[in-house]
Amino acid sequence: MTSHILSWIIFTPLIGAFTILFVPKSSAPLIKWIALATTAVVLGLVCHALTLFQPGLSGFQMMERTSWIPQFNVQYLLGTDGISFPMVGLTAIISLLACLASGSIKERHKEYFFLYLLLETGMMASFLALDLFLFYVVWEVVLVPMYFLIGIWGGPRREYAAIKFFLFTLAGGLFMLLGILSVYFAATPHTFDITQLVGMPRSLIFQQVVFMAFFLGFAVKVPIFPFHTWLPDAHVEAPTPISVILAGILLKMGTYGFFRFSYPLFPEATHWFQPTMATLAIIGIVYGGFVALAQTDFKKMVAYSSVSHMGFVLLGLAALNANGFRGAMLQMFTHGTITGGLFLLVGVLYDRSHSRDMNGFGGLGAKMPGYAGILTFFALASLGLPALSGFVSEFLVLLGSYQYSKLATGLSTLGIILAAAYLLYMVQRVLLGKLNPKWASLTDIKFVEILTLAPLMVLIVVIGVYPSMILNYMIPTLDALLKTLKV
Amino acid sequence: MNAIESLKHFIPELVLLGGAFAALTLDFFVKQKKLVGEFCLLVLVLALCLAKIPAKPMSLFFGMFELDTFTYFFRCIALTATGITLLLAMGYTPLRNRYEGEFYGMFLFMAFALITVAAANNLLMIFLGVEFVSLLSYLLVGFLKNDPKSKEAAIKYLLFGSVCSAIMLYGMSLLFGATGSLELKVIGDALFTASLKPLAATAVLFFFVGLGFKISMAPFHMWAPDVYEGAPTPVTAFLTVAPKALGFAVLTRVLDLAFWHFQGVWSPVLVILSILTMTIGNITAVSQTNIKRFLAYSSIAQAGYILMGLAVFSVLGRDAVLIYLLAYLFSNLGAFAVVTFVGEQTGSDSLDAYTGLASRSPAAAALLMVFLLSLAGIPPLAGFLGKYYVFAAAIKAHFITLAIVGTINSVIAAYYYFRIIRIMYLAPATAPALGAPSRTLTLALWAMLAGVLALGMFPSFFITRILG
């Protein structure tokens, strides 16, 4: 098992998914337990891989290589490094917690958990694939289960949200495919192997054109303004666990793509694109913040706050220096935990009240003290309170961007102020004030729900207090990437 | 090779021909017409087993036929498509009349005709083969002679087809007049040495009309939706796949042998026609309410993608045409197998019949979903491999505009394929559950599913066999 640990991480959910197919539709509890056990096993496997992972190395580790389509030199090529491994860990954690939080799914359990596990396979494979062809295949494999998960179990406008998500991402992905093909045919010998492709000389104009093709694919996923319009729809309509997966993992696939493919493959184009990237990051941070401030729908507010927070990842990417990259990678991880938690909390409230209108709540702090405490914790983590992980990552990003552009940094700090505004305004409207008599019968947060949130809180505090615990895994790889980019 | 020597390389075709006459004779003696169908299936399987990959290209019957791996590939395509169609037809109630036996027999003639088209290496043989296929198609489309829609479709098909064939024949006569030969290779050399560029350009355009009709290329696609809607469903399934594939076979051969010196002339024309075909097909498919019409427009769009490979006309482009056709065969026949099943159970081909199919017949819905996803080009299914090939061919030859238009079209296509998936999975069921499919239909469904999955996940197995 140790020699093929990455394949086991990818295919264990698939095995679980097909096991579920053989369970009769009527035995919903059994199906739930199988899904939960599968995601738990995957987390166990990732923990096992963690013991094998050598943080001091910058190259790929635990690589697996098998020829898949020899005619095109396509390989089944897996490997992990300091960029992908934290994402794999995040995927395993979020998948388990979101599975635990899937109690709100009341119908068609068999289909739900089958698709859910299929989705986990796709996400894991996206973070582990080192062959561009394989990467494209698994990138698309993620879309189909997501379409159904939003479309079948989502809110009132689920059909629209599902197809919009699908078409946006598919369109971006197809342009990425054209880019992948261009890279393939431009390389001698023709190969999709990222370990060979990095470092091959490419003309500037070629790099620019193909960088843009990849950019379309990744920008839709992040999402970068103006490709973000699918996000509020998808996040709001998706059921709670799927919103958690979307915000926690799927958005990271976009920024991961920049780290893994766009930057090392097209170093000159990366420098050329730096100002645009910074501009788009600032637009995302400020625009996302202002729109979040204007929301009355709790979930939509969290969704737009995602746009703002992912802007910090982009800002770190645009900085093109050590602090910026470290901040961006850390922000990818912390945003997954914090926003995942916020979406879970929105779900907790929605399950009880069937409402997400923040203006309609009020005074819940006295009624649901446990819930109020946890919500305040996540709100503070999200707005960047020191000693919590959100602060560390955003601080590092700003530190990095300051070295690149003072103006960009100055404008971006506006995002932090906005975050404080919309999050505290939310706390005020939901938890403080007079209790709306309509919600007098609401019960406090349950043990299972705390169970889904507690691990995230531990991570947020631990990373906030001692960030080098996770940064140590990332730094050698990120430093090597900076060398590739010649900065 | 002379006729007698050629015969021993022509055994599968002789089996088909003998089988066809035997089936028609058998039809006189048996009451249980299904037996005739089973007999025909047996003949097809026998022919498929007897067909061998030729070690080196052979010229049969004084150069009338060319037997090479290309012919072998289309031989397999023709036999598979015919076999699957027979499986669909054997479970199709409207055909249960006194002509049922003849229906099966005609498919053996059809298989024979298709193979001659694929092997034809001579203008005369091409015309005869294409006309043979067309005449049989007209008959099959109008087979339900008491159904006005079927009759209308047959007449439309006949009129449209005759005009297009006549134009192609005129192009052939020009070529013969100028070069004094019917052999493609001789024509190609003569056109080049005598530098007859204007004449070659005219002739190639006339070929595009005649064969464009067969492959439902815009602007010669007008017949397709009406014919596909009116024809009996198994025949529609067949028409969207087999004659189209063979149209591409002839087109490839003609362009390759007779007109390859003039690629600069026809390649831009094919680029435009490809873009036109996929765009018209896709945009019109969006608003269809009848599943057969819907798949008709989708098949027009698919022809547009295949034309991408032909327009590029590199080695990779030609490979792309073959791989795409195989992927399309599995996906489209599979989709039509489900359509036949649902039409049989509900008596309707309207999209409403598919509402909530996921709960009324989970297996049928799941299968149709897989086939539609394959048509949409979602990995890791067969359709993705086809899409990958045509895009790769376009990018390699720097046909960037074509690749981008193809990309945008793929997104439009995904929208309407997902429309069906949405109806099946996201809408609540309003009609009662469906029964089980007949045994022959089940066999066809699983065979096509196996094809879609195998070609998508283990492509190298197929690529080595098809392209060597």
pLDDT in tens, A206-239: 999 999 999 999 999 989 988 999 999 999 999 9
Q: Does some domain include residue A393? A: yes
Residues 6+ apart with CB under 8 A from A406: none
Q: In angstroms, rounded to a whole number, what is the distance separating the alpha carbons of residues A302 and A420?
A: 13
- How many residues are given for chain A? 487
Confirm or reject contact between A487 and chain B (CB < 8 A): no
Per the domain annotation, does A358 fall within a domain?
Answer: yes
pLDDT (mean) for A451-473 = 93
Query: Which amino acid is present at A173?
Result: G
Mean pLDDT, chain A, rounded, equals 92
Instruction: Decide if B373 touches A, using CB distance below 8 A.
Output: yes
Residues B63-120: tens digit of each pLDDT: 888 888 889 999 999 999 999 999 999 888 888 877 888 899 999 999 999 999 999 9
B379–A171 CB contact, under 8 Å:
no
Q: Which of A174, A183, A205, A214 to mutate to test the interface with B (most CBs of B within 10 A)?
A: A174
Write the CA distances from B449 to A226, B8, B23, B362, integer angstroms.
40, 35, 29, 15
Domain map (residue ranges) of chain B:
1-258, 261-468
Q: Which residue of B has its CA nearest to A149?
A: B426
Whether A360 and A436 have beta carbons less than 8 Å apart is answered as yes
Tokens of B141: 């489309």
Task: Give the integer Cα–Cα distance in Å for B464 and A367.
Answer: 69
Closest partner residue to A175 (CB to CB) among B378, B388, B407 is B407
Residue among B35, B44, B53, B41 at smallest CA distance from B15: B44
Phi, psi of A75 (to 5 degrees): -120, 155
Chain segment B118-149, per-residue pLDDT in tens: 999 889 999 999 999 999 999 999 888 888 88
Considering chain A, what percentage of its residues have pLDDT values greater than 70? 99
Number of other residues whose CB lies within 10 A of the CB of residue A312? 31
What are the tens digits of pLDDT across the range A118-147?
Answer: 999 999 999 999 999 999 999 999 999 999
Give the C-alpha separation, B121 to B64, whole Å. 5
- Angstroms from A167 CA to nearest CA on chain B: 6
Cα–Cα distance, A230 to A240 (Å, whole number): 17
Segment A278-292 mean pLDDT: 95
Interchain contact, A151 vs B422, CB within 8 Å: yes
Averaged confidence pLDDT in chain B: 91
Proportion of chain A above pLDDT 90, given as a percent:
81
Q: What is the pLDDT of residue A1?
A: 59
pLDDT band at B57 (very low <50, low <70, confident <90, very high): confident
DSSP classification of residue B429: P
Confidence of residue A251 (pLDDT cuts 50, 70, 90): very high
What local confidence, expressed as pLDDT, does residue A487 receive? 66
- State what percent of residues in chain B have pLDDT above 90: 63
Contact between chains at B418 and A175 (C-beta distance less than 8 A): no
Q: Is the pLDDT reported for residue B281 higher than 70? A: yes
- Asked whether residue B371 carries a pLDDT value surpassing 70, the answer given is yes
**Given an 8 Å threshold on Cβ–Cβ distance, is A71 in contact with B464?**
yes
B316, B319, B407, B415: best to mutate for the A interface, most A CBs within 10 A: B407
**Phi and psi for B206 in degrees, rounded to 5?**
-65, -35
> What pLDDT was estimated at residue A362?
82
pLDDT digits (tens, 9 = 90+) for A294-325: 999 999 999 999 999 999 999 999 999 999 99
The span from the CA of A32 to the CA of A448, in Å, is 14
Gap from B87 CA to chain A (nearest CA, Å)? 28
Total domain count, chain A: 1
CB B212 within 8 Å of CB B224: no
* Structural domain harbouring A367: 266-487
Average pLDDT over residues B9-31: 90
Residue the block writes with tokens 């199709």: B92
- Assigned domain for A214 exists: no
Q: Residue B53 pLDDT more than 90?
A: no
- Give the pLDDT confidence score for residue B109 in this predicted structure: 94
For residue B459, the chain A residues in CB contact (below 8 A) are: 69, 71
Q: What's the pLDDT score for residue B334?
A: 95
Report the candidate in B334, B337, B308 with the shortest Cα–Cα distance to residue B323: B308
| Closest chain A residue by Cα to residue B370 | A144
ipTM exceeding the 0.95 mark: no
* Long-range Cβ contact pairs of A259-262 (< 8 A, separation 24 or more): A259/A83, A259/A317, A259/A325, A259/A328, A259/A329, A259/A481, A260/A83, A260/A84, A260/A194, A261/A132, A261/A135, A261/A194, A261/A214, A262/A211, A262/A214, A262/A215, A262/A218
The string of pLDDT tens digits covering residues B241-273 is 999 999 999 999 999 888 888 888 899 999 999
